[in-house]
Amino acid sequence: DIQMTQSPSSLTASVGDRVTITCRASQRVSTYLNWYQQKPGKAPQLLIYAAFSLQSGVPSRFSGSGSGTDFSLTISSLQPEDFATYYCQQGRTFGQGTKVEIK
């Protein structure tokens, strides 16, 4: 099975900061990599699919990049509503999550 490793597991940042979360696959997965945001008590929400395609309705400050084994999710200017946990996902496997907290 493919393993997905996210880093960091948590981070603190301020409103307006540029934030990058990385996800590494244990084997090459082309661009079959997706990103979700989950707020406390809520269901996850799809942000990015196929590594860099922005889901409809998701703000353009979110972007994805990468291919093969190394991927990243970038928030260009962190907003108050972006404090949440972010998960990468490939096939049946999710990363362990990255919690973004307010500094």
Partner 1 sequence: QVQLVESGGGVVRAGRALRLSCAPSGFTLSNYAMHWVRQAPGKGLEWVAVISHAGSGEYYADSVKGRFSISRDSSKNTLNLQMNSLRPEDTAIYYCARDPSVAGLRWYFDIWGRGTLVTVSS
Query: What residues contact 42, with CB distance under 8 A and at least 6 apart?
Result: none
Is residue 34 within the footprint of partner 1 (CB under 8 A)?
Answer: yes
Half-sphere exposure of 68 (CA within 13 A, CB side): 1
Is residue 52 within the footprint of partner 1 (CB under 8 A)?
Answer: no
- Whichever of 68 and 97 has its CB closer to partner 1, that residue is 97
Q: Which stretch binds partner 1 (CB under 8 A): 13-21, 30-38, 61-69, 76-84?
A: 30-38
C-alpha distances (whole Å) from 8 to each of 24, 28, 32, 85, 97 are 11, 21, 21, 11, 9
By CB under 8 A, name the binding residues for partner 1. Answer: 32, 34, 36, 38, 42-46, 49-50, 55, 87, 89-97
